[in-house]
Structure 1
C-alpha cells in the first residue's frame, strides 16, 4: 500500500540539513515509537537508523541492510533493529506510516516497555541465579520494583532447587509478584504494563542467605 510521503516531517528535515555525525538524533513518532538517525549534513542516505521496539523495518528497498552484529557488539539492551544506509525518503515514508512526527519532541528517553523489551521470554528455559540477577537488575534500573528469587538452597556452586519470586519493598517486607509479570518473563504474555500493577499482597518470606542482590535462599548447605 502506498504511504503518504507528504506528511510534515520537520524533525527529519532539520536532521537532514544539519546532520548528526559523530552522534545520533532521535525522533518520536505520533504513535509514541522512537527511532535514532546517524547521518551527514544534506545526505540522501542515513548511515544508520535504529528502530526501537514497536517499529519494524518495512519489507521494502532501503531497509534490507540490517546489522545484527551491531546489536551484539554494543550490547543493545532494547531489542531494536539497526539498519544501515537507509534513504531519507524511506525514513520519511516510515514516519508517515506511523502518523507522522509527534508534536512533543522533548524527553525522548525510551519507555520502560522499550527498555525491557528484550526480557520477554528471558526465563523461558528456566533461569539460573545469574539470569535472575541480570533480568531483575534491569527491571529495577528501569524504575520497576525490586524483584527477588527465593531459592530452596544455596551452596558452594550457587543457588538451586525450587524457586519463588517476590518483590521486596524498601522497608524489607515482601509482596507477591503478579502472574502476568512471570508469564511475560517466560515468553507467554505481553509486557505487563505499569510497574504499579506488578505486585500484590504482602507475604511472609524466610531465608538464610543472600547474594546481596536479587537471589535469596531458604537454607544454606
Structure 2
C-alpha cells in the first residue's frame, strides 16, 4: 500500500473512532459541553477546513481507482480471450492473467477504501448536525417543563391538584360558590323588583298631590 492510501486508511480509522464517540450515550451536560467546544473552538474549525481539502483529494483518488478497476477489468477480459485462442501460449497468458487479477484486487481495495472514507465523512457530518439539533430541542423541552424554581413550584401545585381527594374538595368548593352566586342573583332580582314597586308608588303619590294648575294655550 502506498503512502497516500495508508494515510487514507488512517483517516478512515479516525472517522470510525469519532463516530463511536458521537453515538456513545453520555449525560446531557457532558454532551452539550463537548459539542459547544467543537463548535466554538477555532482550532477545530481550522482542522475541519483542512479535512474538507483532504476529502477533495480522496475523491480524486476514488475516481482514479474506479477508472483503474474498469481498465483492469477490460484487460482481464482481453487476456482471458487471448488465452482461449492461443493454445501454445497458455502458460505465458496464465501468468499474465494472474498479474492482471492481482492488479484488479489492489484497484478494488483502493476503490473501497476511498469510497468508504468519503461515505463515512458524509455520515459523520449528518450525525453531527442531528445531534446538535437534538441538543437544542432538549434545552427547549427542559425550559418548557419548568426546570426553574417557579416552574417546579407550579408543577408541585399541579401534582397536588391532581390527587383524588384534592379534586373532590375543589369540586365541592366550586359547587358551594355556584350556590352562593345563585342566591345573590335571586336577592338582586327581589331588590330590583321592590325598587321598581317603590318607584311606581312614589310617582303615583307625587302626581296626586301636584297643586300646580295647568294653563291652556
- TM-score (norm. length: structure 2): 0.17
More helix as a share of residues: 2
- CA radius of gyration, larger in: 2
Greater strand content: 1
